[in-house]
Every structure is written in structure tokens, then in C-alpha cells.
Chain A
């Protein structure tokens, strides 16, 4: 499951980081509550982006500096940088209710981290953040799509490890707005079915079950999976 030195671990950072990532996000959510008086109440401005980016970067970097164990668990600067970016994306979304504020905060955390610790060994990971400012405030035909409808084929975001920044920001903004669904009610309803073998309400648990070979799909795949 974790083959590869960098690409695959990035995809499962939420599984690998145990509660480190959760704790960071919880802390930043509290920051949002205290700073702005609740979710979705921060103005969608550059100042908000800066405040969230600096707060997230400071919290994460202080954590890494003060806890060798965390650094050991999140082995490699790339993983630590990702945790920081994803946390900032969620926080920005939570604060303002707009995913662009989240992704912009994520980009800025990476510039802050770069000033402090230098560029990541995996150079291309930085591409996304360097270009992010230009790419997300644009009306160019090949780049001006709203966040919620972007996918892995979207320019710049196909680079390893960056794709997850979107859903983080979108989810944060969605929670802040308090809507019933983030984008498409049909998808929301379809995957909210409790009888599905894959519990979309607890994705992390399902993926870990898969890693342990304990997850058994049902339905059309029955003929090709072991008896269950």
C-alpha cells in the first residue's frame, strides 16, 4: 500500500499521520472560532488568507520543532509540508466558507515553510504553490473553473500530493456554510446509504480495513472475490 518513497504515502497521509493531522485541524478550527467568532464568519480577503496561513504554519512548525516523535512519524519534509498545507486549506475554508481562501492559505504556508527550511527535495511539489496565486485568480479559459468541479486532470493539480488540497478546502468551506451538500445532492444521497459495504461516513476506517485485507466488496464483484 505504501509503495514508493513519496507518491503513495502522500495519498494516505491521513491514515499515516494517526491523530497528528486531526489534532492540528482541531486546533486550527478552535483558532477560527476564537478569531472570527465562528465558522464562515471571516471576510473572504487577502488578510484572512495571510492570518490563517501564518497561524497554521506557525502551529505546525512549532509542533515539528518541539516534537521529534512527530517528525519521525511524518518522516520526510514532504509529508510534514503536506499536513501543513491540508490543514491550512481546511482552516481557510472553515473560516470564510469559500474554498479559494483555503487553497490560497495552503499555498502561502508553503512559501512560509520554504523561507524557513528551504525547498523540498521533491521539487515539483512546489510548482502548485508557486503558481497557485496566479492560477486561482484567473479567467483564462484553461484555468478558470470553480473548485468544486475540478478533478485530477485540472492544470497543475495533477502533480503528486497536491490534489488533496482541493477537497480539504472544499470540505472546510462546505462545513462552514452549513449546507446539506457541497456540490451535487445526487452524489450526497447516493453515497449516504448505510447499507453500502463501503461506509462513506468512515472512509479512513474502510481504507485501513482494505490495507489489512479485511474489506470485502459486494455486488457485481462477487464472482471475482474470495467467498465471504
Chain B
């Protein structure tokens, strides 16, 4: 495989150096154990909303809105009260050996059932639906067994959990909560890792903007590997972009936010980035026009793109952070890139893809189309899919900085994810973990 020789110093979300001279090759998901761990944990995890299952079965409201079939109702079913017995039963179904890495736990006082499949099951899976299907099936059968459900009503338990599936392509109206969307909803092949909502990423990162950006970057890198887009001419572009924008390489994002956070604007962020890029020799002045306008050009195109992307994240954090509101992220993306382009003649982030994505994001969330919201966006969306790495970290960071202006905030739609991985260091501190893993990769070579 083509080897990228670049090295970076990586700083964490408090501006502290966590690893120096990190090889960017080690940030490739196939080389990085921390990213692998993050992706593995997400892939094998499903949560069953037991409270919803109980309500559905008690009322006969199965399969989503407007569907009510009282003849399937089991008014006295006690799922929450029997949650521990159901959990034990599910664990017995799922465990492949005594010391495998499966995990079955109750969350929120038994309202949610967390199921993580053992590695053996993931190894034989053809796609990532195995977690939802095995976890859901185990829970259905556990409820039928523990609650001694009549055979004529057992299928109602299945519908309460799987919703309208398999008549629909997803679990519409069911009680399955998964970070990943279903494969049949993928916009294109290899888009599995792009289905994770901004709200879920923010919950995983415990509302830390830079950690949210780092996790969003890890998922986008996973997509790039899957889609065959992290090879050849694109490899250095995306590896450097990931290192600088998502992992705060050279403290660029942190320093810029610190310098401009108090009273800065998008324009000031651009000035900071340009100063750094000039100082490091990433760009240079090409010519001065008679009007006095200086035309710049990149000395190193991929590295300049990484600098520009870092500035875009910094501008997002400065603006959305000042407003404590995620809604402005699309405007920041548009204005940052347009201003950068027009004031310097340098290429904007991802050569037009970021500004284009910002324009449609604005349209979909806040212009006449409306309907979408920043928190429920994911990179599998027809809009966000067109930027391959650089926009989703900004959307996630903006969501993390929101102080309650969203109709669908992370706590409402994805709060349970903040508990699931809180003991895993790769989720607690993704920047440091990924950097350390890159160093370990080099040591093992």
C-alpha cells in the first residue's frame, strides 16, 4: 500500500500535547486499534426500549402510529418488573462461551436493555444488522418465555420489538435503538458508518465538541475505507484532514478557537488560519494585483485543505459556541468557505464540496424546505453525503455546543448512548486514544 510519510503532533481538547511525531499512516482505521475498537463497539451494540415494548403490548399499539389492535393487547404484562429475568434469559441466549466479550445490561432502571454481541457473532456476520436482529430476537423469545405469553399473542411481542419489519425495510414502529441505520437505507454502497446521527455522536462524546468532532471523523474514516475512497490520490487528503480537523493536530483547532473565541468572527478565524499556514509554508503569495489584492496559492494542496478544514471547525465552534446554538452551522460553513475563497483565491474546503453541502444544509434545516434539524442529520443524508469527511465533524461540534435550542436535542433522541460506552477509554477520550494507537502501530511495525 502507498505510504504517506507525514507526521503530526496531536493535542487533546484542552490544548495539551498527547502524542508527538505521530505518523498519519497510523490514523488509517485499518492500522489504528482505537478506531477499530470504536467501530467494533458501535457495530455490536443494540438497545431495546423495554418501556416501549411494555406499553405497546399493554395497549395493542403495534407497528407505529395509527396502528392499534386491542385483540393483541396483554394488559397485565409486566416487562419492566421482570426486566432482570429477561436480561438473564437474553444473556443465556447470546453468550457463546463463559468468558466471551458479550454484554447484556439494564439501563435507566430497567427501561432499556443493552445488548452487545460477542466477537464470534460479529465475525460471521455479513453486515451490521446482526446486532439488531440477534438482540431483538433474543429479547422477543426471552419475553415470551419469562412472561409466559400465549402462542397466539407471541407474534405481538415480535412486532413490539421489530415493528413492521420484515414488511418494511427498517424497524418502523419497533423498539430497537441502534446507532447504525439499516443497510437498505444506505444512500450508496459502503455508507454504513455514515448512518450515525449527529445527536448520537454528541451523546457518545458526552457533549464535548472536539471529542464529538473526533468521533464523527472516526466514523467518516470508516466509511472512506469501506467505500474504497481512502486509497491512491485521496489517501493523503483525507488522512491529513482527519488529523488536523478531527484530532487537533498541531493544536490548530484549539489555538484558533482560543485566539478568537472571546470576540472573534468567521473572518478572524480565517486570518488566524492564513497566518499559521503562511508561517508553516503551507501556502504562499503568488502575486499582488494592481488593486492590492494578494493572490495566494497552496504549496501543499492536501495540507492546505487540512488547515482550511481545521479553520472551518474552529469557525463553527466560535460562532455556534458564542450563540450556544447549533442552528448557525450551515451559515458558518457557507460563509467561511466563500470568504476564504474570495479573499485569498485559495481552494476552499474539499474544493467546493463543503460550501455546497453548507448551502443545501441551510436549505434543508432553515430555508423554505425546512424539516430537518442539525441534531438529527447524519452523513448518509443526500446533503451531507456529498462532503466525504469534513462537514460532519462541524455538524457534530455544533450540536454539542447547543444549549437547548434544538427541537430534537441529543438528550431527547439519543441520551441513552451517553451511558453505554462511558467506561471505554476510546469513547471518553478519542483524540488521545487514536493518537496513542497510531504510535503503537508504528512500534509494532
Contacts and interface: CB of A to CB of B under 8 A. Distances in A.
Of A127, A129, A132, the most chain B CB neighbours within 10 A belong to A127
Contacts of B233: 139
A153 to B, nearest CB: 9
Contact of A127 (B190, B229, B359): B359
A156 B359 CA distance: 12
Nearest to A6: B368
B355 A130 contact: yes
B367 interface: yes
A141 B360 contact: no
Contact of A135 (B187, B190, B360, B386): B386
Interface string B259-297: 000000000000000000000000000000000000000
Contacts of B360: 123-124, 127, 159
B352 A132 contact: yes
A158 interface: yes
A128 B360 CA distance: 9
A134 B353 CA distance: 7
B349 to A, nearest CB: 10
B386 A155 contact: yes
Nearest to A130: B356
A142 B192 CA distance: 13
A141 B189 contact: yes
B359 A142 contact: no
Given A127-B356, A130-B356, A133-B351, A141 B364 contact: no
Contacts of A142: 188-191, 227, 229, 385
Interface string A139-161: 11110000000000001101100
B70 interface: no
B352 A131 contact: yes
A133 B190 contact: no
A124 B334 CA distance: 11
B364 A134 contact: no
B229 A141 contact: yes
A124 B227 contact: no
Interface in B221-252: 227-229, 232-234
A78 to B, nearest CB: 12
B385 A140 contact: no
Interface residues of A, number: 21
Nearest to B226: A141
Contacts of A159: 360
A216 B228 CA distance: 49
A124 B359 contact: yes
B362 interface: yes
Contacts of A127: 356-357, 359-360, 363, 383, 386
Interface string A113-138: 00000000011101111111111000
A123 B367 contact: yes
B62 to A, nearest CB: 33
Interface in B359-383: 359-360, 362-364, 367-369, 382-383
A124 B191 CA distance: 23
B350 interface: yes
Interface string A44-55: 000000000000
B352 A122 contact: no
Interface size class of B (residues with CB under 8 A): 20 to 34
B388 interface: yes
Nearest to B366: A123
Contacts of B227: 140-142
Given A140-B234, A140-B388, A134 B229 contact: no
Contact of A124 (B188, B189, B369): B369
B431 to A, nearest CB: 27
Interface in A153-171: 155-156, 158-159
A128 B356 contact: yes
Contacts of B189: 141-142
A130 B359 contact: yes
A105 to B, nearest CB: 16
A122 B369 CA distance: 10
A131 B363 contact: no
Contacts of A155: 187-188, 382, 385-386
B386 A141 contact: no
A130 B359 CA distance: 9
B220 to A, nearest CB: 13
Contacts of B353: 130-131, 134-135
A43 to B, nearest CB: 23
Contacts of B386: 127, 131, 135, 155-156
Contacts of A156: 356, 386
A124 B364 contact: yes
Contacts of A139: 232-234
A21 B191 CA distance: 40
Contacts of B191: 142
Contacts of B232: 139
B189 to A, nearest CB: 7
Contacts of A141: 188-190, 227-229
Contacts of A131: 352-353, 355-357, 386
A159 B357 CA distance: 12
Interface of B: 187-191, 227-229, 232-234, 350-353, 355-357, 359-360, 362-364, 367-369, 382-383, 385-386, 388
Given A123-B362, A124-B367, A131-B356, 14 more contacts: A122-B363, A124-B359, A124-B369, A127-B357, A127-B360, A127-B386, A129-B356, A131-B352, A134-B351, A135-B353, A141-B229, A142-B229, A155-B187, A156-B356
28 contacts: A122-B367, A122-B368, A123-B363, A124-B362, A126-B356, A127-B356, A127-B357, A127-B359, A127-B360, A129-B356, A130-B356, A131-B352, A131-B386, A134-B351, A134-B352, A135-B353, A139-B232, A139-B234, A140-B227, A141-B188, A141-B190, A141-B227, A141-B228, A142-B227, A142-B385, A155-B382, A155-B385, A156-B386
The 5 closest A-B pairs by CB, nearest first: A131-B356, A124-B363, A130-B356, A127-B356, A134-B351
